[in-house]
Amino acid sequence: MPELTVAVDVDAPAERVWAALTDWDRQGDWMLGTTVRATLGKGCRVGDEMQAATGIGRVRFVDRMRITRWEPPHVCDVLHYGRLVRGSGTFIVRERGRGATVIWSEQLDLPLGRLGRWGWPVVRPAARLGLQQSLRRFARWARDYSG
């Protein structure tokens, strides 16, 4: 499975960073082209589910996720089980002095079989750039997050 990992330092305590990161309904405030909402439970325990819609204009896809590990304020693992996005994702929050580092990692089961595997080297740089930009936006947004 292809893996994609990005990280960002945030000038805020780990507890605030965690609260901001797992405020699913507000992820659209910092995540490029994405809206997220809890669909089963509140998104704060193993088994809860979320749905993310990502795209531009009418070109959108839905990512369905289930929380498989929940260890606040440090680790959230999800299982992506939608039609297009499958695999696992992890948010890790590490304390760093008075701040924190967020590590976002995805292990994806690419769609379209062999074509998806061949296309990954072309798509990966754009996906990485999008995740990096989103996390940079998150770092600014989370610094002043108040819930």
* Higher pLDDT, residue 54 or 80: 80
Contacts of 7 (CB under 8 A, 6+ apart): 101, 102, 103, 104, 135
Question: What's the confidence (pLDDT) of residue 133?
Answer: 95
Number of structural domains, the chain? 1
* Higher pLDDT, residue 10 or 125: 10
Question: Using one digit for the tens of pLDDT, what is the confidence trace for 72-120?
Answer: 999 999 999 988 778 999 999 999 999 999 999 999 876 666 766 776 6
Instruction: Tell me the residue range of the domain where 87 lies.
Output: 3-143
How does strand 59-71 pair with strand 99-108? Answer: unpaired
Give the H/E segment covering residue 79.
strand 75-81
Question: What's the confidence (pLDDT) of residue 31?
Answer: 92
Q: Are 69 and 76 in contact, with CB atoms under 8 Å apart? A: yes
pTM of the model: 0.88
- Mean residue pLDDT of the chain comes to 91
Residue 24 clears pLDDT 80, i.e. is over it: yes
Q: State the CATH number of the domain containing residue 67.
A: 3.30.530.20
